[in-house]
Amino acid sequence: MADARPFHWEFTPDPVTREVFRIEGGVPLRGEVPISGSKNAALKMLAAATLTGERCRFTNVPEIEDVRVMAETLRDLGVVVDHPEQNVYEVASGDVEWLFVPLEAAAKMRASFMLLGPLLSRFGRVIISNPGGDRIGRRPVDLHVESMRTLGATIEYRNGYYFATAPGRLRGTEVRFPFVSVMGTENAMLAATLADGHTVIRPSAQEPEVDDLIEFLRKMGADVERTYPDTIEVQGKRRLRGADHHVIPDRIEAGTFAIAGAVTGGRVTLTGAPCEHMTAFLEVLDRTGVDAQCDADRITVDGSALRDGGFRAVDIATAPYPGLATDIQPPTCVLLTQARGVSHVHEAIFEDRLEWLTELNAMGARIDIPDNHHAAIHGQTPLRGTEAEIGDLRAGASLILAALAADGESTIHGAHHVKRGYENIERKFADLGARIARLEEGTTSTTS
């Protein structure tokens, strides 16, 4: 496992430019907005490209910070990553010089841990740091590590790093998770594609992003199949080839803009939207009285019910797909502040995902949070402009929605969090008529 290059356990993080969103609320949003490629699919595709030395080409990749960080991490490993045009990435992992994923990458983005499976399976060794990402509760990587051990790897944890080796090839086996894990499923699946023998993964995550990854792997020549809704089977191959792939649309971004149209009382059409992946969310909209019409890859949302007395209170609970996605729960909470009656929210995935609701209360909402997993939202309450602090990606997008619906001006600090997962979000909102601007801290400017 030794390497001639020295390790540096201390690091100085890249300086983050502190930015704010300045938003003048109360404007009904109207028009069309294109939905970008899926963040959660694109990051896994880039990791999967290291399974082969041949070129892989991806289109519809979102121009977001997390993709940029993943691309830089791959380049640091010696992978050739080209970005020839907007939303297009090309990856060639012919000679990976340095099988070490540093703390810097892990601190910025949890998805960096997705490199464990493919690098270990192809090269037989990797050193990878514990991941970071949003602070929304415990998101342990134990499941990833144990699945690699089940496949035959030896993994030691020292000084914040996992030292993983797999002499020869990983061995196909049954990987059984104690509960559904999206990234755990994906990491085990990537590792199994080059393992010796047959692997069965259950219960496997059923998210569309997982199936998109399966489609890409099959293009590479992998023998991967979802044999039951909660079971994925993999027959390992000696090598895989390069492939081209178009990343699916981002269902979380689509849901965010759908709620924006509703909560501002506007009318917004989402183009390139993945209707077939949003059934649970669209059912919630229907129960609240939001008019949402799906037509192939377009969703039109009419928020006129807001002007006719408000939406209906509903109870929601997050769950693995095909249930309501935990990532769409925060925006949905903004919608429920404008619903008549009391809505109950059960966040069943992450224990700290409801913490941001204190910021929503500061804007005039009336939300009780009895514990880390439950909230009661009392509506219909007018929201007012204020200053707020973004703590994570999805809460950040949700605070933007609240500010757009609020009366008066809001200053939302921590805009850099939103850049991690939404492509040019302020421009898309401005094109719908929002008065919004992204500014560096301390800058004074009117929104436009």
Give the C-alpha separation, 116 to 12, whole Å. 24
> What is the dotted CATH code of the domain comprising 19-36+249-440?
3.65.10.10
Domains 19-36+249-440 and 39-246 share a fold: yes
The tokens describing 33, both together, are 């907005």
Give the contacts of 87 (CB within 8 A, at least 6 positions apart).
Answer: 36, 37, 59, 60, 61, 62, 63
How far from 120 is each of 22, 109, 167, 232, CA to CA, in Å?
Answer: 45, 19, 10, 20
CB neighbour class for 196 (10 Å; exposed up to 12, middle 13-18, buried from 19): middle
Start-to-end CA distance of the chain, whole Å, equals 55
Instruction: Look at domain 39-246 and name its CATH class.
Output: alpha beta
Dist. CA 123–CA 118, nearest whole Å: 8
Q: What is the pLDDT of residues 252-273, one digit of tens each?
A: 999 999 999 999 999 999 999 9
For residues 163 and 1, the answer to whether their CB atoms sit within 8 Å is: yes
Q: How far apart are CA 200 and CA 127, in angstroms?
A: 26
What gap in Å lies between CA 127 and CA 147, rounded to an integer? 16
Structure tokens belonging to residue 132: 């970071």
The residue type at 413: H
Closest CA to 133 of 440, 420, 401: 420
CA neighbours closer than 13 Å in the CB half-sphere of residue 402: 36
- d(C-alpha 166, C-alpha 143), whole Å: 17
For 84, left (φ over 0), alpha (ψ -120 to 50), or beta?
alpha
Domain ranges of the chain: 19-36+249-440, 39-246
- List the one residue out of 234, 206, 212, 123 whose CA is nearest residue 169: 123
| 188: Cβ contacts below 8 Å, ≥ 6 apart | 117, 144, 147, 148, 151, 175, 199, 201
Q: Are 134 and 353 in contact (CB under 8 A)?
A: no
Distance between CA 201 and CA 192 in Å, rounded? 9
Q: How do 374-379 and 291-295 pair as beta strands?
A: unpaired
CB 409 within 8 Å of CB 23: yes
State pLDDT tens for residues 199-233: 999 999 999 999 999 999 999 999 999 999 999 99
Give the Cα separation of 121 and 236 in Å (integer): 10
Residues in the chain, how many? 448
Residue 92: beta bridge partners? 55, 80
Place of tokens 């496997």: 204
Please give the chain's pLDDT, 448 residues, in tens.
333 333 333 333 344 567 899 999 999 999 999 999 999 999 999 999 999 999 999 999 999 999 999 999 999 899 999 999 999 999 999 877 678 887 777 777 778 899 999 999 999 999 998 875 334 334 468 899 999 999 999 999 988 889 999 988 999 999 999 999 999 999 999 999 999 999 999 999 999 999 999 999 999 999 999 999 999 999 999 999 999 999 999 999 999 999 999 999 999 999 999 999 999 999 999 999 999 999 889 999 999 988 888 899 999 999 999 999 999 999 999 999 999 999 999 999 988 889 999 999 999 999 999 999 999 999 899 999 999 988 888 889 999 999 999 999 999 998 888 999 999 999 999 999 999 999 987 655 444 4
Q: Read off the pLDDT of residues 12-41 as tens digits, 9 standing for 90 and up.
A: 334 456 789 999 999 999 999 999 999 999
Closest CA to 208 of 115, 327, 98: 327
* Backbone CA torsion sign across 16, 17, 18, 19: negative
What are the CA-CA distances from residue 184 to residues 106, 158, 188, 348 (Å)?
16, 21, 6, 18
Instruction: Select from 419, 418, 417, 413 the least CA-distant residue to 443.
Output: 413
CA torsion angle for 415, 420, 424, 426 (degrees, to 10)? -30
Chain centroid to CA 92: how far?
24
